[in-house]
């Protein structure tokens, strides 16, 4: 039993942030739901740990988190207002279809740059990537993000500062070009 608990704890430490991230992105960026889903997934893992192939546990955790989050979204998606829909309803109507098209293209370019920055950040320093993801993408309060990462808040501040400085140095010109286009 001791070995089982130790293996479970190692798997939990290794995959807890992945499961939270997958649940968060697939639940419509709902942190509370993602946290609940993560707890449910790890409870299922613990209950069925003896019958699970530990070599493929990462895939099982990721797929389970994704499916649970999608089910959450199907069940509660209609009940929760989506922030984008609220913002869109408050936007003034566009003057032309051309303006709509250009805005859509600019948004697509921003999304591509965003993905490029995250991929580069992950390659440069996975801990920076995790810090940026938790604080800015998932909008988790910094104290909670530091707790999730197992570090002190001042260390998180330092990581965020270094990551932002690296992003600005590496991708600042591309970002500034996009601002000029608009």
Burial code (b: 16+ CB inside 10 Å, e: under 16) for 70-96 equals eebbeeeeeeeeeeeeeeeeeeeeeee
Q: So what's the pLDDT on residue 22?
A: 86
Q: Are residues 100 and 163 in the same domain?
A: yes
Q: What is the pLDDT along the chain (182 residues), one digit of tens a residue?
A: 566 778 888 888 888 888 888 888 888 778 888 889 999 998 888 888 777 777 778 888 888 888 998 888 888 765 544 444 444 444 555 567 778 777 788 788 888 888 888 888 888 998 888 888 888 877 788 888 888 888 999 999 999 999 989 988 988 887 777 655 54
Token reading at 112:
């591509």
Q: What is the pLDDT of residue 82?
A: 46
Q: Greatest CA span in the chain, whole angstroms?
A: 68
Q: What is the pLDDT at residue 3?
A: 65
Q: Do 105 and 175 belong together in one domain?
A: yes
Q: Measured between alpha carbons, how far is 148 from 141 in angstroms, rounded to an integer? A: 11
* Full-model pTM: 0.48
Could you tell me if 121 and 163 are in contact, meaning their C-beta atoms sit under 8 angstroms apart? yes
pLDDT of residue 157: 92
Q: What secondary structure does DSSP assign to 19-64, as a single string? A: HHHHHHHHTTS-HHHHHHHHHHHHHHHHHTGGGS-GGGHHHHHHHH
- Which of 110, 115, 152 shows the shortest CA–CA distance to 131? 152
Which residue segment(s) compose the domain that 171 sits in? 96-181
Q: Is the same domain home to 72 and 100?
A: no
Do 162 and 105 lie in one domain? The reply is yes
| Burial class for 135, CB neighbours closer than 10 Å (0-12, 13-18, 19+) | buried
* Structural domains in the chain (count): 2
Eight-state DSSP code of residue 91: S
Q: Domain containing 65 — which CATH number?
A: 1.10.1740
């Amino acid at each position: 039993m001791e070995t089982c608990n130790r293996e479970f704890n190692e798997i939990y430490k290794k995959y807890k942030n992945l499961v939270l991230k997958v649940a968060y992105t697939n639940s419509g960026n709902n942190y509370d739901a993602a946290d609940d889903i993560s707890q449910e997934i790890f409870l299922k893992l613990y209950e069925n740990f003896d019958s699970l192939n530990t070599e493929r546990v990462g895939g099982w955790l990721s797929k389970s988190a994704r499916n649970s989050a999608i089910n959450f979204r199907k069940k509660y998606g209609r009940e929760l207002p989506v922030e984008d829909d609220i913002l869109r309803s408050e936007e003034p109507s566009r003057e032309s279809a051309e303006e709509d098209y250009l805005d859509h293209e600019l948004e697509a370019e921003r999304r591509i740059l965003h993905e490029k920055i995250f991929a580069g950040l992950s390659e440069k320093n996975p801990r920076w990537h995790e810090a940026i993801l938790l604080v800015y993408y998932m909008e988790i309060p910094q104290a909670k993000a530091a707790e999730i990462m197992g570090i002190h808040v001042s260390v998180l501040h330092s990581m965020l500062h270094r990551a932002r400085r690296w992003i600005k140095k590496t991708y600042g010109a591309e970002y500034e070009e996009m601002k000029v286009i608009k």
